[in-house]
Amino acid sequence: MTETEKTQLEFTAADESRRFLSRTLQEKQSQLQQLSLDCPPLERANLQLEIADIMLDIAEPGMIEAAWGYAKESFLIFVEHSQWEDAVRAADVLYRTELPASVTALGNGLWLAVTYPIDPELSIIMLNNLIDDTPPNADGAAVAAATAHYIADLRLDGEKRESTMFLTGNLLSKVAERHSNVQDQAQMNGWMMRLELNDPEKFLPRMAQILEAIVEGDWWYDKEELRARLPVQ
């Protein structure tokens, strides 16, 4: 296959994918319009989140802002109905809009992702978002990476735990390299000790402080009230 043919094939695949997304969006929007005013709130929230996600992929003018509106309303509904994992998914969509309040959305989602025992892979995705959004020499990325490694250890078992901890361990190593040019295990051990990343009783409170700094008081829920809903006190 020539380079020209390869390029044409790539364009054709992209166009076909875009047409498929546009058709799917129209179908989902039609379903949303047909919902009755007294339909179950979670049904509306799930459909709106699907629409928001598709809008982010298409990204035509005005869609990013519309996606924010849909996902924000879904987030609030999910929180109200204690659907923590879905709320975090909505926060991830909000973060991916890259609108001015997207970092606030990340902080709100991250608090739920760390506090509640949701799918650890989703929690790790959110923590990785924070790492990507943090300057290389800032301690926040190190704390987020340590938290991701801790969550994998705490919430998983068996082969899934081993494979995920391998990934979070690599993530921690990459953060250490960009933060302090850590190159070997001895340096890694010293770095972990210096930043107190071996003790969750020390780095988890720092994680909470980082989230407070990100959100700047703009919490979309009452954290104390949500702590009371935790399955294990």
Q: Which of 5-19, 27-41, 155-169 has the lowest average pLDDT?
A: 5-19
Reported as a pLDDT band with limits 50, 70 and 90, residue 101 is very high
Check if the beta carbon of residue 48 is closer than 8 Å to that of residue 56: no
Predicted local confidence at residue 5, as pLDDT: 47
Predicted local confidence at residue 3, as pLDDT: 57
Question: Which amino acid would we find at residue 64?
Answer: I
Q: What is the pTM of this model?
A: 0.89
For the residues 137-153, what does the mean pLDDT come to? 95
Question: For residue 14, is pLDDT > 80?
Answer: no
Question: For residue 1, is pLDDT > 60?
Answer: no
Question: For residue 116, is pLDDT > 60?
Answer: yes
Name the packing angle between helices 102-115 and 63-80 (round to 10°).
Answer: 30
For the residues 198-211, what does the mean pLDDT come to? 96
Predicted local confidence at residue 17, as pLDDT: 85
Percent of the chain scoring above 70 in pLDDT: 93
Question: For residue 2, is pLDDT > 80?
Answer: no
For the residues 97-115, what does the mean pLDDT come to? 97
- Per residue in 58-95, pLDDT tens? 999 999 999 999 999 999 999 999 999 999 999 999 99
User: Minimal CA–CA distance to 117: which of 231, 227, 212?
Assistant: 231
Contacts of 205 (CB under 8 A, 6+ apart): none
Of 192 and 137, the structure prediction assigns the larger pLDDT to: 192
Distance CA 220, CA 233 (A): 22
Average pLDDT, the chain: 92
* Per-residue tokens: 22: 């546009």
User: Minimal CA–CA distance to 28: which of 58, 65, 62?
Assistant: 58
